[in-house]
Structure 1
């Protein structure tokens, strides 16, 4: 038997409250924070002495969630990287909104901005990348015409 369903994506962050607020501003629903530590988590993720706080932010339609995680122990010695769309690994998530311009305007009011331009894709979607805190990128897509119900 194969997989059953997609469940979540884990995102490691430095400022848990700032990043959580960013996703809440996009319309995600926040869960209560959890403190996680102990031998079981050390064994699962292959690190010793783990202590972390985690908040789930859930898509309002129930289609998925992000687990936002702040490690108190051990910490990552590497510096935070900037939001480059061609960096190897998972680079962005896509989020469908019903008023892209309104969402972008609201986020600009909070000091955030697009990575590039807002563009129309084949009269089907209005798209942009938003540069979030800590180098996170969220693709925003507003369906403006017929076609696939999946953003490009």
Structure 2
């Protein structure tokens, strides 16, 4: 029986930009980093204080995302926040632009989107 999601894997192209984004902007901490010489790639294991894990793979020649955000497969990553306005202000100070705040028509909760360095949509979802 499934217990919970263990991790999510994301592919990026630029080691420095992706690591900065996921650590400094989103607040992940590095659990482990591995360089894979035979693939000229990196694998960085990241974790949030909630123990949510993310595997970040860096491949310099990864193909671009075909559309935003309706490509087949993973549509976006969503992170729960207590105060959406504070988080938007914080990421804006870090040079990250977000879309306008929207209201979920089913829950009446506020949310917004922005993108990681490779165009993967990231959602902030206010739960309070």
**TM-score when scaled to structure 2?**
0.80
Task: Answer whether contact 2:30 2:45 (CA < 8 A) is retained.
Answer: yes
| Match status 1:120 vs 2:109 | no
Query: How far off is 1:11 after superposition?
Result: 1.1
Go from structure 1 to structure 2 and tell me whether the alpha carbon gap of 1:4 and 1:96 turns closer, same or farther (over 3 Å shift): closer
Higher RCO, 1 vs 2 (CA within 8 Å, ≥6 residues apart): 2
Q: Distance in 2 between matches of 1:83 and 1:108?
A: 24
- The equivalent of 2:39 in structure 1 is 50
Query: How far off is 1:31 after superposition?
Result: 2.4
- The equivalent of 1:147 in structure 2 is none
Q: Distance in 1 between matches of 2:97 and 2:33?
A: 27
RMSD value, Cα: 2.4
Bigger Rg, structure 1 or 2: 1
Equivalent runs, 1:26-105 vs 2, <5 Å: 26-36=26-36, 49-62=38-51, 64-71=52-59, 75-76=61-62, 78=63, 80-81=64-65, 84-105=68-89
Aligned length: 126
Query: How far off is 1:127 after superposition?
Result: 0.7
Q: Distance in 2 between matches of 1:7 and 1:59?
A: 12
Task: Answer whether contact 1:11 1:68 (CA < 8 A) is retained.
Answer: yes
Unmatched segments (≥5 aa) in structure 2: none
